[in-house]
Structure 1
């Protein structure tokens, strides 16, 4: 519907722009150029996480395309903990038409375009001049911000979904008869939209849960007077959520032993077996409590969240001073409250480790929708100063990020233009040869640098962080190669493909410092288990159990 109306909207916009003078076409051109530059730099980004992406997040979409299903991967920690595999399906769609090293086009580029489109065509309660300037500043700043992403999991697409959820609700509030949309259909839509966040990334769970609670309470207190109507809406909300999540949950349980990690069980995770240090272990110990609490609260000191806190306080002040349109003021505050509370919950759940990158994206989307929802207050001088001040910040911050990273972005775009594969031809040849040698008469476990480059058949499994996930009673740790061999055979694994030349890009020489007591407990546990597993593989290889060995890759026969 929106796409069909674009020509009409564009013609009307053109007529309005002519009435406003020269500034407006210049701002519009700058916004368009910023979006184009953002798209090019996203598509041209050839940087990938050599562990998360190469070992797991690129393997799963490749497996999906080659087999038509994700199947089971009981030895993959990322399969278990990162979400319900919705991101793998999105990346698989991209792989149909593009090479793997252009896959940032799916989340970073396409997600940003969807988000920009949503901002462009949502209605702001202000004059045309104000609406145009606010939207243009938000869009320009948004697309020019540097993205604090560490891997190729969904980050920007959830921003668009979060924005769409709150925008849909804002449309209901503005409607003349909102109750007509708050029946079964409305509940199904809201439930499915919030649940879709969980299919993409598990760290979005707190935000989705907080938002659901606040939205339901808000609707009951402001729009749904009848308890009977609310019960019907709530029931359909639960049904929509269940229908969205259930197939993914069953699939994850069959693969990794949990319907949804960790809320519905830890499944095959090593934490279940007692030899994996959780993220919050010793969080309140006397030695680290202050630094841990500081790490949890540190994202609130970043620009996006500090601005969110200031805007929330200002909205609460407006609510206290005047009851004028209090319903809209409260609604504008809800996304900010969800974002700030989510920041603290996620920060604690992951022990403060890299908390900012997990909460930044929904935080930014929440800030933008709150600005738009509160724009009706811009007629007040104080609110105008706040909103225009935030817009100026978006422009300055976006320009600053581009100045800092422009040279590296240009270099990346050039590499992409000349189709330069991030993986060397030597490594591609090594994996092409090993792929032809993979046996078909038993299950094969991969511990290699680039598992997605291998031919994937139904008998192929991956170990991204070996030992961090494994079927009961858990992979034996510190018990030597024979115990590991017996365990794997008991779970149907007959062969292991081992890239001993690169140590699967996780050698002790490069990452041995992760074993230090100062390292985050989760990271230290992953390193401890991976190094133990790899030492056992090397002992097996040197003992003459390899059935294939060439160019630094060995296929070990466990039988």
Structure 2
């Protein structure tokens, strides 16, 4: 099985590369081959949106897309090998391998660590993320109802990409996209930029390896490195475009639009970075062109094209957006408490990750800022590189301070804010590629410009020093992978019993319980499913399945009266057209009352809304279970309960 999954991973990477080859040829953009895996994924995301709108996602369509890419990628690699053999240019091959040495050495480790993890997040993954690619392959669409996070926290792009590994392997293989292929894509982007800008091979190896060493705060299968690859692609396209004045020509603008659209499609939290990222790029590079205002006007092509490319995914979730309405006030009044303070230099271990503190990531931001400032004021660099360096440094700093130190208080908390900023922090690694090469620094010494040379080297040295701070984290990740078989960065999952439990849910027990409950529902009836036993075990073609999860309870279009009486809530469920409710009320995936009253929940506004509503929904379903005039218990296993919803008035249909 391991060798088959390795082959599947290589085929997927080759397919994405092949689609990137096709896009580069059609668009005529100046991109190195190392950027083509990321470009290929960006091309497929709008296509996935179109297929999902027309309920056309299936094993067949995924297979056609994948094998088409494999053919295109294989032809490109075959042509490269033929030319190299004919020209006998072994030196260029050795130079290429030297630059990609870090990628070649780390890929086997990545595959071994992530190809079949023994555990998933019982809240995020089992309750939310894993059901979407399964639903896509089963029904071709994402018609999930109104009680889940689809459409708000994500649009479905990542779920579409996860259909590729799911069509080739078991459910546990689904995260190969983010934790293997996307990591490789990020590393290759750093290498190709460094090579194009004349950097030495050891700079490529060091920078690409550092990108992997930094703890990504991995806690679920959502887009993390995949989002970073899309963001790095934006900067790579700018850096590898020969003339700034032609950066926003239609073909370049379309390529940039693909990268921007990919970030939006993958996860909406990534979209929050885009205005700052793109705005700073336009501002910084506008000083490198003559007809500035006309050039700035042409830059509007990128967000326009990006919006057009995102439209299919907005269409996937159109029913939710069309249902936007004012909803009742959330049940959060009793959960409010005094705000906690942001402590960016805290040395207290974080709730996420391995042996890391907020201090680690704050130091990363400071180093990126110092390195960007050094490059911005370096007269040896042209205006484009100085502008991009300034844009990266300012984007990393602003997003970190604003979203982590400021806005995170109103949303999910400071530590979660850092986790959402990982793609932006990883973009700072590109500054190594912009740094002057070793020969230029040596020349500066010979010319007596020792201060300039030291300034050139100060950034990389600081980056390397901060990177070394993450070595204990890397070692801890390796130990957990060896002993437990997974890399979830959460303390409460770092034990063998958790791994055994989640394995049972994926492979056996959870599936049996969920399927047996579904068999008690007549075919064609609608079921609202809220369970961490895995809705991915259900037959989506037998019944209309409405997904429910914690994040969905805070969706703005959910017209459920959380603050109303139980009678009004019962009527609302009936008005939605829900015939049955499959609800997990006990077991490891159910949060206890004490959690909802903890400081972790009370201190941040969105958590208060989300968990306040979650708590209220749980109380409503518990009371509904004991009200025979409104619901009948059909199945009760002691952990999950199937309720038949009676019409208002109590008369059974």
TM (norm. structure 1) is 0.82
Q: 1:312 aligns with which of 369, 381, 395?
A: 369
Measure how far apart 1:422 and its partner are. 5.3
Taking a change above 3 Å as real, the CA distance of residues 387 and 36 of structure 1, as seen in their structure-2 partners, is farther
Q: 2:330 aligns with which of 275, 282, 301?
A: 275
Q: In 2, Cα distance between the equivalents of 1:412 and 1:448?
A: 25
Q: In 2, Cα distance between the equivalents of 1:391 and 1:191?
A: 30
Q: In 1, Cα distance between the equivalents of 2:183 and 2:600?
A: 39
* 1:156 pairs with 2:225: yes
Deviations 1:279-309 (A, max 9, x none): xx98xx9x53xx3344699999643542443
Q: 1:389 aligns with which of 461, 477, 499?
A: 461
Q: 2:104 aligns with which of 32, 47, 53?
A: 32
Q: In 2, Cα distance between the equivalents of 1:17 and 1:67?
A: 46
Which residue number in structure 1 is paired with residue 539 of structure 2?
Answer: 455
* 1:240 pairs with 2:309: no
Q: In 1, Cα distance between the equivalents of 2:455 and 2:328?
A: 54
Which residue number in structure 1 is paired with residue 407 of structure 2?
Answer: 349
Q: In 2, Cα distance between the equivalents of 1:12 and 1:31?
A: 24
SS, match of residue 375 in structure 1: coil
* 1:484 pairs with 2:569: yes
* 1:118 pairs with 2:189: yes
SS, match of residue 555 in structure 1: strand
* 1:198 pairs with 2:282: no
Measure how far apart 1:356 and its partner are. 1.0
Deviations 1:410-461 (A, max 9, x none): 1344999xx9555463333212212322333442211222222222246210
Q: 2:609 aligns with which of 519, 525, 545?
A: 525
SS, match of residue 84 in structure 1: coil
Which residue number in structure 2 is paired with residue 95 of structure 1?
Answer: 166
SS, match of residue 446 in structure 1: strand
Q: In 2, Cα distance between the equivalents of 1:321 and 1:135?
A: 21
Which residue number in structure 1 is paired with residue 128 of structure 2?
Answer: 56
Taking a change above 3 Å as real, the CA distance of residues 340 and 387 of structure 1, as seen in their structure-2 partners, is closer
Q: In 1, Cα distance between the equivalents of 2:319 and 2:175?
A: 29
Q: 1:292 aligns with which of 317, 321, 341?
A: 341
SS, match of residue 573 in structure 2: helix
Which residue number in structure 2 is paired with residue 556 of structure 1?
Answer: 643
The answer as to whether partners of 1:309 and 1:336 remain within 8 angstroms in 2 is no
Measure how far apart 1:205 and its partner are. 2.2
Q: In 1, Cα distance between the equivalents of 2:574 and 2:382?
A: 67
Q: In 1, Cα distance between the equivalents of 2:207 and 2:456?
A: 15
Counting only pairs closer than 5 Å after superposition, residues 535-546 of structure 1 correspond to structure 2 as 535-544=619-628, 545-546=631-632
Which residue number in structure 1 is paired with residue 421 of structure 2?
Answer: 359
Measure how far apart 1:235 and its partner are. 4.5
Q: Which moved more, 1:153-162 or 1:79-88?
A: 79-88
The answer as to whether partners of 2:375 and 2:389 remain within 8 angstroms in 1 is no
- Asked which structure has the greater RCO (Cα within 8 Å, sep 6+), the reply is 1
Deviations 1:300-348 (A, max 9, x none): 9643542443343354356557486344223212112111111123222
Which residue number in structure 1 is paired with residue 52 of structure 2?
Answer: none
Which residue number in structure 1 is paired with residue 581 of structure 2?
Answer: 496
The answer as to whether partners of 1:138 and 1:391 remain within 8 angstroms in 2 is no
Deviations 1:528-553 (A, max 9, x none): 32232223323333345335215333
Which residue number in structure 1 is paired with residue 434 of structure 2?
Answer: 373
What do you get for the CA RMSD once the two structures are aligned?
3.8
Taking a change above 3 Å as real, the CA distance of residues 393 and 277 of structure 1, as seen in their structure-2 partners, is farther
Q: In 2, Cα distance between the equivalents of 1:125 and 1:470?
A: 46
Q: Which moved more, 1:370-379 or 1:492-501?
A: 370-379
SS, match of residue 330 in structure 2: coil
* 1:440 pairs with 2:440: no
Measure how far apart 1:490 and its partner are. 1.5
TM (norm. structure 2) is 0.71
Q: In 1, Cα distance between the equivalents of 2:92 and 2:600?
A: 63
Q: In 2, Cα distance between the equivalents of 1:245 and 1:95?
A: 24
SS, match of residue 81 in structure 1: coil
Q: What stretches of structure 1 of length at least 5 have no aligned partner?
A: 259-266
Q: In 1, Cα distance between the equivalents of 2:594 and 2:539?
A: 28
Which residue number in structure 1 is paired with residue 91 of structure 2?
Answer: 15
Taking a change above 3 Å as real, the CA distance of residues 472 and 116 of structure 1, as seen in their structure-2 partners, is closer
Q: 2:238 aligns with which of 164, 169, 179?
A: 169
The answer as to whether partners of 1:468 and 1:529 remain within 8 angstroms in 2 is yes
The answer as to whether partners of 2:633 and 2:644 remain within 8 angstroms in 1 is yes
Deviations 1:93-141 (A, max 9, x none): 32211222222211111101111222233344777xx611111112223
Q: Which moved more, 1:204-213 or 1:387-396?
A: 387-396
Q: In 2, Cα distance between the equivalents of 1:470 and 1:222?
A: 43
SS, match of residue 540 in structure 1: helix
Q: 2:255 aligns with which of 189, 210, 217?
A: 189
Which residue number in structure 2 is paired with residue 142 of structure 1?
Answer: 211
